[in-house]
């Protein structure tokens, strides 16, 4: 059997110029592209004209392709000798279910590689001209999902708030817009209402929108500004630096 391989490629936050060279090479070499809903057409355009493109969109609140079906597609195509690229928004290993996919592919005896991408939580704050960590304001950063797995209790926001306060951490919340009211209430048990917060919608893309507010006004701000998914919520003192930025900061990869 001429078994092919699968590469999980991080497409980054959306701007095609933020792709790594390794990601572009993998996309160009693919014979089958399994494309997430949040991957921009400009990134898919790097694919070979002869590549088969399969859209396997997965977005919160929308009809999604079942994860088990996506994994089955990857295994079937690889066993047929295809060079499969699973093109995922952001980074495959940060809320991209890349760990699950690697486990299933390895269990099926399929060669699998991972190419990292810039996660939207990083692109979001950089678009505002502020960092995730800062020697004076934030000694670390926590990436956390606001979308609990069905049947689980989800994140202990009260414990996280206390830890963020005591350790001076920046909180980067993915998929948290729909549950922002609950998240806000729980975080307020450990963080002051004046804590700076930013919400960034479609970071790095031409239609990016953002709002800077406080934790006490988070839910009201999201409703007023009509900020929907996909958005990233960033909580912490690093956001206080947004007002000090006099000009937009371009995102560059070192």
Q: Which residues are catalytic?
A: 36, 58, 175
CA dist list (Å): 165 to 158, 210, 216, 238: 11, 24, 15, 13
Q: Is the dihedral of CA 123, 124, 127, 128 positive or negative?
A: negative
Could you identify the residue written with the tokens 């005896």?
Answer: 109
Q: In this structure, what are the phi and psi dihedrals at residue 13, rounded to the nearest 5 degrees?
A: -75, -10
User: 115: part of which helix (H) or strand (E)?
Assistant: strand 111-115
Residue 26 in tokens: 């993998």
How does DSSP classify residue 63?
-
* CA nearest to 239, candidates 90, 134, 155: 134
| CB 27 within 8 Å of CB 46 | yes
């Amino acid at each position: 059997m001429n078994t092919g391989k699968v590469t999980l490629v991080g497409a980054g936050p959306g701007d095609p110029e933020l792709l790594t060279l390794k990601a572009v090479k993998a996309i160009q070499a693919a014979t089958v592209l399994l494309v997430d809903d949040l991957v921009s057409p400009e990134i898919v355009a790097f694919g070979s004209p002869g590549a088969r493109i399969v859209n396997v969109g997965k977005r919160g609140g929308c009809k999604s392709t079942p994860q088990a079906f996506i994994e089955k597609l990857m295994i079937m195509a690889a066993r047929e000798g295809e060079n499969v690229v699973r093109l995922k928004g952001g980074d495959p290993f940060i809320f991209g279910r890349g760990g699950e996919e690697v486990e299933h592919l390895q269990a099926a005896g399929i060669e699998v590689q991972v190419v990292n991408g810039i996660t939207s939580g990083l692109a979001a704050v950089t678009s505002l001209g502020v960092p995730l960590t800062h020697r004076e304001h934030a000694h670390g950063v926590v990436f956390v999902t606001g979308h609990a797995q069905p049947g689980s209790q989800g994140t202990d926001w009260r414990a996280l708030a206390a830890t963020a306060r005591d350790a001076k951490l920046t909180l980067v919340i993915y998929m948290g817009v729909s549950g922002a009211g609950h998240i806000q209430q729980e975080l307020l048990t450990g963080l002051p209402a004046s804590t700076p917060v930013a919400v960034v919608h479609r970071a790095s893309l031409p239609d990016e929108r953002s709002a800077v507010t406080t934790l006490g006004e988070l839910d009201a701000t999201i409703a007023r500004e009509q900020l929907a998914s996909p958005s990233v919520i960033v909580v912490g003192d690093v956001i206080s630096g947004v007002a000090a930025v006099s000009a937009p900061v371009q995102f560059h990869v070192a």
